[in-house]
Structure 1
Amino acid sequence: MNRLLEPVLRRWRLTAFIASATMLAIAHGFQHIGGLAPCYLCFKQREVYWVALAVALVGMLAVRTKLGANSRRWFNLALGLVFLFGAGLAAYHAGAEWKWWPGPSVCGGGAATVTAESMAALLKGEVFSAPSCDKAAWVFAGLSMAGWNALFSLALAALSFQAFRRKYA
Protein backbone atom coordinates (compact mmCIF):
# COMPACT_ATOMS: atom_id res chain seq x y z
CA MET A 1 0.00 0.00 0.00
CA ASN A 2 1.08 3.54 -0.60
CA ARG A 3 3.09 4.87 2.36
CA LEU A 4 1.18 8.17 2.25
CA LEU A 5 -2.21 6.48 2.35
CA GLU A 6 -1.50 4.12 5.24
CA PRO A 7 -1.53 6.75 8.04
CA VAL A 8 -4.74 8.21 6.62
CA LEU A 9 -6.46 4.84 6.69
CA ARG A 10 -5.16 4.05 10.19
CA ARG A 11 -6.99 7.11 11.49
CA TRP A 12 -9.82 7.05 9.02
CA ARG A 13 -12.58 8.19 11.37
CA LEU A 14 -10.57 11.32 12.26
CA THR A 15 -9.76 11.92 8.60
CA ALA A 16 -13.42 11.52 7.63
CA PHE A 17 -14.42 13.92 10.41
CA ILE A 18 -11.93 16.55 9.20
CA ALA A 19 -12.91 16.04 5.54
CA SER A 20 -16.62 16.42 6.36
CA ALA A 21 -16.03 19.52 8.48
CA THR A 22 -13.92 20.99 5.67
CA MET A 23 -16.61 20.34 3.06
CA LEU A 24 -19.21 22.00 5.28
CA ALA A 25 -16.92 24.98 5.83
CA ILE A 26 -16.38 25.32 2.09
CA ALA A 27 -20.13 25.16 1.43
CA HIS A 28 -20.82 27.79 4.07
CA GLY A 29 -17.98 29.91 2.68
CA PHE A 30 -19.52 29.85 -0.81
CA GLN A 31 -22.84 30.82 0.76
CA HIS A 32 -21.84 33.49 3.27
CA ILE A 33 -18.68 34.90 1.70
CA GLY A 34 -19.31 34.17 -1.97
CA GLY A 35 -23.01 35.04 -1.83
CA LEU A 36 -24.15 31.83 -3.56
CA ALA A 37 -27.50 30.84 -2.08
CA PRO A 38 -27.89 27.05 -1.79
CA CYS A 39 -30.81 25.23 -3.35
CA TYR A 40 -32.79 22.39 -1.82
CA LEU A 41 -30.41 19.68 -3.09
CA CYS A 42 -27.40 21.68 -1.86
CA PHE A 43 -28.86 21.57 1.65
CA LYS A 44 -29.49 17.83 1.31
CA GLN A 45 -25.84 17.30 0.32
CA ARG A 46 -24.76 19.19 3.43
CA GLU A 47 -26.90 16.91 5.58
CA VAL A 48 -24.83 13.96 4.37
CA TYR A 49 -21.68 15.59 5.74
CA TRP A 50 -23.42 16.29 9.06
CA VAL A 51 -24.30 12.58 9.28
CA ALA A 52 -20.71 11.65 8.41
CA LEU A 53 -19.46 14.01 11.14
CA ALA A 54 -21.71 12.29 13.68
CA VAL A 55 -20.75 8.75 12.58
CA ALA A 56 -17.05 9.63 12.64
CA LEU A 57 -17.31 11.27 16.08
CA VAL A 58 -19.26 8.39 17.59
CA GLY A 59 -16.78 6.01 15.99
CA MET A 60 -13.80 7.84 17.46
CA LEU A 61 -15.39 7.75 20.91
CA ALA A 62 -16.70 4.18 20.68
CA VAL A 63 -13.36 2.62 19.75
CA ARG A 64 -11.92 4.01 22.97
CA THR A 65 -14.30 1.87 25.03
CA LYS A 66 -14.00 -1.81 25.84
CA LEU A 67 -17.19 -2.65 23.94
CA GLY A 68 -16.31 -0.52 20.92
CA ALA A 69 -12.72 -1.64 20.46
CA ASN A 70 -13.77 -4.18 17.83
CA SER A 71 -16.12 -1.79 16.02
CA ARG A 72 -13.50 0.25 14.12
CA ARG A 73 -14.08 -1.50 10.83
CA TRP A 74 -17.86 -1.20 11.12
CA PHE A 75 -17.71 2.54 11.62
CA ASN A 76 -15.50 2.74 8.52
CA LEU A 77 -18.09 0.74 6.60
CA ALA A 78 -20.86 3.03 7.85
CA LEU A 79 -18.85 6.06 6.71
CA GLY A 80 -18.37 4.44 3.31
CA LEU A 81 -22.12 3.95 2.94
CA VAL A 82 -22.83 7.54 4.03
CA PHE A 83 -20.29 8.95 1.56
CA LEU A 84 -21.55 6.67 -1.21
CA PHE A 85 -25.08 7.95 -0.64
CA GLY A 86 -23.68 11.50 -0.75
CA ALA A 87 -21.94 10.77 -4.05
CA GLY A 88 -25.21 9.51 -5.51
CA LEU A 89 -27.12 12.53 -4.27
CA ALA A 90 -24.51 14.92 -5.66
CA ALA A 91 -24.47 13.06 -9.00
CA TYR A 92 -28.27 13.34 -9.11
CA HIS A 93 -27.98 17.09 -8.50
CA ALA A 94 -25.29 17.48 -11.17
CA GLY A 95 -27.47 15.55 -13.62
CA ALA A 96 -30.38 17.88 -12.90
CA GLU A 97 -28.07 20.85 -13.55
CA TRP A 98 -27.06 19.34 -16.91
CA LYS A 99 -30.78 18.74 -17.66
CA TRP A 100 -30.21 14.99 -17.96
CA TRP A 101 -33.23 14.47 -15.71
CA PRO A 102 -35.55 16.70 -13.73
CA GLY A 103 -34.79 17.62 -10.14
CA PRO A 104 -37.35 17.15 -7.39
CA SER A 105 -40.50 19.23 -7.62
CA VAL A 106 -39.40 21.33 -4.62
CA CYS A 107 -36.46 22.54 -6.75
CA GLY A 108 -38.44 24.74 -9.09
CA GLY A 109 -36.88 27.91 -7.77
CA GLY A 110 -40.11 29.15 -6.27
CA ALA A 111 -40.12 26.95 -3.20
CA ALA A 112 -38.95 28.77 -0.12
CA THR A 113 -36.21 27.21 1.97
CA VAL A 114 -35.89 28.43 5.52
CA THR A 115 -32.41 29.87 6.00
CA ALA A 116 -30.99 32.84 7.85
CA GLU A 117 -31.09 34.75 4.57
CA SER A 118 -34.74 33.88 3.88
CA MET A 119 -35.75 34.85 7.42
CA ALA A 120 -33.89 38.18 7.12
CA ALA A 121 -35.55 38.82 3.76
CA LEU A 122 -38.99 38.11 5.24
CA LEU A 123 -38.34 40.44 8.17
CA LYS A 124 -37.41 43.20 5.71
CA GLY A 125 -40.58 42.54 3.74
CA GLU A 126 -38.70 41.16 0.76
CA VAL A 127 -39.67 38.07 -1.21
CA PHE A 128 -37.17 35.24 -0.98
CA SER A 129 -37.17 32.09 -3.02
CA ALA A 130 -34.59 29.37 -3.06
CA PRO A 131 -32.51 29.04 -6.20
CA SER A 132 -33.49 26.41 -8.71
CA CYS A 133 -31.66 23.08 -8.44
CA ASP A 134 -31.22 22.84 -12.21
CA LYS A 135 -28.93 25.86 -12.56
CA ALA A 136 -25.29 25.59 -11.51
CA ALA A 137 -24.34 28.63 -9.44
CA TRP A 138 -20.60 27.99 -9.83
CA VAL A 139 -18.57 25.96 -12.31
CA PHE A 140 -14.86 25.16 -12.29
CA ALA A 141 -13.14 23.07 -14.98
CA GLY A 142 -16.51 22.10 -16.42
CA LEU A 143 -17.95 20.76 -13.15
CA SER A 144 -20.42 22.43 -10.84
CA MET A 145 -20.15 22.30 -7.07
CA ALA A 146 -22.46 19.28 -7.17
CA GLY A 147 -20.20 17.58 -9.70
CA TRP A 148 -17.08 18.22 -7.60
CA ASN A 149 -18.95 17.04 -4.53
CA ALA A 150 -19.89 13.80 -6.31
CA LEU A 151 -16.23 13.12 -7.10
CA PHE A 152 -15.04 14.05 -3.62
CA SER A 153 -17.75 11.97 -1.93
CA LEU A 154 -16.93 9.02 -4.17
CA ALA A 155 -13.25 9.29 -3.19
CA LEU A 156 -14.20 9.44 0.50
CA ALA A 157 -16.43 6.39 0.06
CA ALA A 158 -13.61 4.47 -1.65
CA LEU A 159 -11.19 5.36 1.13
CA SER A 160 -13.77 4.37 3.75
CA PHE A 161 -14.21 0.97 2.14
CA GLN A 162 -10.43 0.61 1.89
CA ALA A 163 -10.16 1.39 5.64
CA PHE A 164 -12.93 -1.16 6.30
CA ARG A 165 -10.87 -3.84 4.51
CA ARG A 166 -7.75 -3.14 6.63
CA LYS A 167 -7.21 -5.30 9.69
CA TYR A 168 -5.72 -2.47 11.74
CA ALA A 169 -8.51 -0.03 11.02
Structure 2
Amino acid sequence: MTSNLRLAQRLAIAVPALALAGAWLSQYAGGLPPCEMCWWQRYAHLAALALALAALPLHRLRAGLLALAALAICLSGVIGGFHAGVEYGWWPGITTCAQPTGLAGGTDPLAAIMAAPLVRCDVAPWTLLGVSLAGWNALYSMLAGLGLFRLLGLRERP
Protein backbone atom coordinates (compact mmCIF):
# COMPACT_ATOMS: atom_id res chain seq x y z
CA MET A 1 0.00 0.00 0.00
CA THR A 2 1.41 3.40 -0.97
CA SER A 3 2.02 6.10 1.62
CA ASN A 4 -0.73 8.28 0.09
CA LEU A 5 -3.25 5.45 0.33
CA ARG A 6 -2.16 4.73 3.91
CA LEU A 7 -2.60 8.42 4.80
CA ALA A 8 -5.98 8.50 3.05
CA GLN A 9 -7.03 5.43 5.07
CA ARG A 10 -6.07 7.10 8.35
CA LEU A 11 -7.74 10.39 7.44
CA ALA A 12 -10.90 8.65 6.22
CA ILE A 13 -11.22 7.16 9.71
CA ALA A 14 -10.03 10.19 11.70
CA VAL A 15 -12.07 12.91 9.95
CA PRO A 16 -15.56 11.50 10.60
CA ALA A 17 -14.52 10.15 14.01
CA LEU A 18 -13.41 13.63 15.10
CA ALA A 19 -16.52 15.25 13.64
CA LEU A 20 -18.77 12.80 15.47
CA ALA A 21 -16.79 13.19 18.70
CA GLY A 22 -17.21 16.96 18.45
CA ALA A 23 -20.93 16.61 17.77
CA TRP A 24 -21.42 14.28 20.73
CA LEU A 25 -19.27 16.49 22.96
CA SER A 26 -21.33 19.55 22.05
CA GLN A 27 -24.51 17.57 22.68
CA TYR A 28 -23.67 15.85 25.95
CA ALA A 29 -21.07 18.16 27.53
CA GLY A 30 -22.21 21.41 25.95
CA GLY A 31 -25.96 20.90 26.27
CA LEU A 32 -26.66 21.50 22.57
CA PRO A 33 -29.19 18.90 21.39
CA PRO A 34 -29.10 18.26 17.63
CA CYS A 35 -31.86 19.29 15.26
CA GLU A 36 -32.98 17.12 12.37
CA MET A 37 -30.44 18.53 9.90
CA CYS A 38 -27.67 18.03 12.48
CA TRP A 39 -28.61 14.34 12.52
CA TRP A 40 -28.36 14.23 8.71
CA GLN A 41 -24.77 15.51 8.94
CA ARG A 42 -23.99 12.86 11.53
CA TYR A 43 -25.48 10.09 9.40
CA ALA A 44 -23.15 11.01 6.54
CA HIS A 45 -20.14 10.93 8.89
CA LEU A 46 -21.27 7.58 10.32
CA ALA A 47 -21.48 6.19 6.78
CA ALA A 48 -18.01 7.55 5.99
CA LEU A 49 -16.58 5.96 9.11
CA ALA A 50 -18.22 2.61 8.32
CA LEU A 51 -16.87 2.69 4.76
CA ALA A 52 -13.36 3.61 5.91
CA LEU A 53 -13.35 0.83 8.50
CA ALA A 54 -14.70 -1.66 5.95
CA ALA A 55 -11.76 -0.76 3.71
CA LEU A 56 -9.24 -2.01 6.29
CA PRO A 57 -9.58 -5.75 5.53
CA LEU A 58 -10.80 -5.39 1.94
CA HIS A 59 -7.54 -4.70 0.14
CA ARG A 60 -8.87 -5.01 -3.41
CA LEU A 61 -11.75 -2.63 -2.69
CA ARG A 62 -9.79 -0.24 -0.47
CA ALA A 63 -9.44 2.68 -2.90
CA GLY A 64 -13.09 2.48 -3.95
CA LEU A 65 -14.35 2.31 -0.38
CA LEU A 66 -12.14 5.23 0.62
CA ALA A 67 -13.48 7.23 -2.33
CA LEU A 68 -17.02 6.48 -1.12
CA ALA A 69 -15.99 7.56 2.39
CA ALA A 70 -14.62 10.82 0.96
CA LEU A 71 -17.91 11.29 -0.89
CA ALA A 72 -19.88 10.74 2.35
CA ILE A 73 -17.67 13.27 4.14
CA CYS A 74 -18.30 15.80 1.35
CA LEU A 75 -22.02 15.03 1.59
CA SER A 76 -21.96 15.93 5.28
CA GLY A 77 -20.29 19.19 4.27
CA VAL A 78 -22.97 19.92 1.67
CA ILE A 79 -25.70 19.23 4.23
CA GLY A 80 -23.84 21.42 6.73
CA GLY A 81 -23.64 24.22 4.17
CA PHE A 82 -27.35 23.97 3.46
CA HIS A 83 -28.08 23.89 7.20
CA ALA A 84 -25.88 26.94 7.80
CA GLY A 85 -27.78 28.78 5.05
CA VAL A 86 -31.03 27.96 6.82
CA GLU A 87 -29.57 29.24 10.11
CA TYR A 88 -28.39 32.48 8.48
CA GLY A 89 -31.77 32.99 6.81
CA TRP A 90 -30.40 32.68 3.27
CA TRP A 91 -33.11 30.15 2.31
CA PRO A 92 -35.92 28.27 4.05
CA GLY A 93 -35.36 24.86 5.59
CA ILE A 94 -37.12 21.76 4.34
CA THR A 95 -37.75 20.04 7.68
CA THR A 96 -40.10 20.30 10.59
CA CYS A 97 -37.07 20.13 12.89
CA ALA A 98 -38.61 17.62 15.24
CA GLN A 99 -36.67 16.25 18.19
CA PRO A 100 -36.93 12.53 18.96
CA THR A 101 -38.22 11.96 22.47
CA GLY A 102 -36.01 8.98 23.30
CA LEU A 103 -38.68 7.05 25.17
CA ALA A 104 -37.34 4.48 27.57
CA GLY A 105 -39.33 1.50 28.79
CA GLY A 106 -42.03 2.61 31.23
CA THR A 107 -41.71 6.31 30.45
CA ASP A 108 -44.94 8.23 30.04
CA PRO A 109 -44.99 9.22 26.34
CA LEU A 110 -46.82 12.51 26.93
CA ALA A 111 -44.42 13.52 29.70
CA ALA A 112 -41.45 12.65 27.48
CA ILE A 113 -42.87 14.71 24.60
CA MET A 114 -43.57 17.67 26.86
CA ALA A 115 -40.07 17.50 28.39
CA ALA A 116 -38.26 17.16 25.05
CA PRO A 117 -36.41 20.32 24.03
CA LEU A 118 -37.61 22.11 20.92
CA VAL A 119 -34.62 22.21 18.62
CA ARG A 120 -35.02 24.44 15.60
CA CYS A 121 -32.94 24.06 12.46
CA ASP A 122 -33.15 27.75 11.63
CA VAL A 123 -31.47 28.98 14.82
CA ALA A 124 -27.75 28.55 15.43
CA PRO A 125 -27.40 27.60 19.11
CA TRP A 126 -23.67 28.39 19.13
CA THR A 127 -21.24 30.27 16.90
CA LEU A 128 -17.51 30.89 16.75
CA LEU A 129 -16.34 33.93 14.79
CA GLY A 130 -19.89 34.25 13.46
CA VAL A 131 -19.88 30.73 12.01
CA SER A 132 -22.34 28.15 13.33
CA LEU A 133 -21.54 24.51 14.08
CA ALA A 134 -23.19 23.57 10.78
CA GLY A 135 -21.02 26.13 8.99
CA TRP A 136 -17.86 24.79 10.63
CA ASN A 137 -18.88 21.25 9.67
CA ALA A 138 -19.38 22.42 6.08
CA LEU A 139 -15.87 23.91 5.95
CA TYR A 140 -14.20 21.00 7.76
CA SER A 141 -15.98 18.25 5.84
CA MET A 142 -15.63 19.75 2.38
CA LEU A 143 -11.93 20.49 2.82
CA ALA A 144 -11.26 17.06 4.31
CA GLY A 145 -13.33 15.21 1.71
CA LEU A 146 -11.69 17.04 -1.18
CA GLY A 147 -8.28 16.43 0.41
CA LEU A 148 -9.05 12.72 0.57
CA PHE A 149 -10.02 12.71 -3.09
CA ARG A 150 -6.72 14.44 -3.86
CA LEU A 151 -4.76 11.85 -1.89
CA LEU A 152 -6.57 9.02 -3.63
CA GLY A 153 -5.82 10.60 -7.00
CA LEU A 154 -2.13 10.83 -6.15
CA ARG A 155 -1.77 7.19 -5.25
CA GLU A 156 0.53 5.07 -7.35
CA ARG A 157 -1.09 2.70 -9.80
CA PRO A 158 -0.05 -0.98 -9.51
Normalised TM-score (structure 2): 0.85
SS at match of 1:132: coil
- Identity level (%): 32
Counterpart selection for 1:167 from 151, 155, 158: 155
Letter in 1 for 2:26: F
- Distance, in Å, in 1 between the alignment partners of 2:23 and 2:63 is 29
- Distance, in Å, in 2 between the alignment partners of 1:15 and 1:92 is 24
**Equivalent residue for 1:134?**
122
- Structure 1 residue 114: Cα displacement: 3.8
Change (3 A) 1:105 1:75: closer
- Distance, in Å, in 2 between the alignment partners of 1:122 and 1:140 is 38
- Structure 1 residue 123: Cα displacement: 6.3
Q: Residue 13 of structure 2 contacts residue 52 of structure 2 at CA under 8 Å; is this kept in 1? A: yes
Counterpart selection for 2:35 from 33, 39, 43: 39
- Distance, in Å, in 1 between the alignment partners of 2:108 and 2:35 is 18
Normalised TM-score (structure 1): 0.80
Name the Cα RMSD after superposition: 2.3
| Structure 1 outlier segments of 4+, above 4 Å | 6-9, 120-124
- Distance, in Å, in 2 between the alignment partners of 1:95 and 1:101 is 6
Q: Does 1:90 align with 2:80?
A: yes
Q: Residue 48 of structure 2 contacts residue 70 of structure 2 at CA under 8 Å; is this kept in 1? A: no
- Distance, in Å, in 2 between the alignment partners of 1:141 and 1:9 is 35
Q: Residue 77 of structure 2 contacts residue 141 of structure 2 at CA under 8 Å; is this kept in 1? A: yes
Q: Structure 1 unaligned segments of length 5 or more: list them.
A: 1-5
